[in-house]
Amino acid sequence: MITGMDRPAEIIVFDDPAALAEAAAQAIAECAEAAVAARGRFMVALAGGSTPRTTYERLAQPPLRDRMPWDRTWIFFGDERGVTPDHPDSNYRMANEALLSKVPIPAKQIARIRGEAEDPETAATEYGQRLSEVFECKRGGLPRFDLILLGMGVDGHTGSLFPGSPVLKEVFRPVAAVHASAASIPQRFTFTLPVINTAARVMFLVAGSEKAKLLKAVLNEPTSALPAALVRPTNGRLTWLLDRAAAALVGLPK
Ligand code: 6PG
């Protein structure tokens, strides 16, 4: 099991991706209500890729749509591809189509990563500054999200933290521009591990048999250096929402 955290990770397995999406959407709404009740606002970072789309669509439909405190919700992105916001591979575009364009969230509370930026380093620094401003971080302080959603790739990457990437050793910068030669879109922007591991809650959404082999390594090998295995909130809750196909090799108690 994953170590280095103040509590063990929760692993919840669902029969299929639809059941996973329903539960994920419910969990997001519960997290939002609790955050607003405790702190007056809900700070969430969305995951990219394809797996979260159904969860976002569920959240944009009644009854959850009417339960969410949209006026108190701030949306960030845990990573983005180096593309324009209308590009088919844009994480922003996916989230906007599935959720953001369908709910009454103030535009100023949606913080998009400028994937199209000519100068990726500047765009990454800008996004880091936006985080510090909105979270009112003290100098060198890190934002503490109420919830960070993540996926996992078949190589064990998460966000745009890829295996062997030097950015895995980052300790200061909250957001980094990375060049992932193995990725379809190599230019990427990503939260770094210090931000992810400072969150109050991190929730992985992982579905599909093609992820089973790597998930076994991530969840069963304490010394795994796979990026997804390095997600260990120091003072937060870590939840893996899996479908049965992805969880097939994890060896969970029946
Ligand atoms: C991205 C994602 C990435 C994603 C995994 C899983 O921008 O690609 O943030 O980390 O979560 O690649 O992607 P799928 O959900 O499409 O399998």
- Residue pair 190/159 in contact (Cβ under 8 Å)? The answer is yes
- Quick one: pLDDT at residue 1? 44
Q: Which residues contact 131 (CB under 8 A, 6 or more apart)?
A: 76, 111, 137, 143, 174, 175, 195
Residue 224's pLDDT is: 86
d(CA 114, CA 171): 23
Per-residue pLDDT at 222: 77
pLDDT confidence of residue 6? 65
What pLDDT score does 223 carry?
A: 81
Digit-coded pLDDT (tens) for 65-98: 999 999 999 999 999 999 999 999 999 999 999 9
Helix (H) or strand (E) segment spanning residue 134: helix 120-134
Distance in Å, CA 38 to ligand 1 centroid: 31
Residues of the chain with pLDDT below 50 are: 1-3
Rounded CA separation 113/97 (Å): 16
The Å distance, Cα 3 to ligand 1 centre, comes to: 24
Give the residue, by CA position, lying nearest to ligand 1 atom 12: 153
Give residues (CB < 6 A) around ligand 1. Answer: 47-51, 79, 81, 91, 151-153, 157-160
From 20, 51, 240, give the residue whose CB has the most ligand 1 atoms within 8 Å, as the site to mutate: 51
The alpha carbon of 50 and the centre of ligand 1 are apart by a number of angstroms equal to 6
What is the reported pTM?
0.97
- Ligand 1 atom closest to the Cα of residue 205 is 15
Positive/negative CA dihedral, 54, 55, 60, 63:
positive
Decide if 94 contacts 53 (C-beta within 8 A).
Answer: yes
Rounded distance, CA 5 to CA 18, Å?
30
The pLDDT score that the predictor gives to residue 2 is 47
Q: What's the CA gap between 227 and 218, in Å, rounded?
A: 9
Q: E strands, the chain, where?
A: 10-14, 42-46, 73-77, 79-81, 147-150, 175-179, 187-191, 201-206, 237-243
What's the pLDDT score for residue 136?
A: 96
Report the alpha-carbon distance of residue 147 to residue 35 in Å, rounded. Answer: 9
Cα(49) to centroid(ligand 1), Å: 4
Ligand 1 center–CA 13 separation, angstroms = 19
Counting ligand 1 atoms within 8 A of each CB, the residue from 157, 161, 204 with the most, and so the one to mutate, is: 157
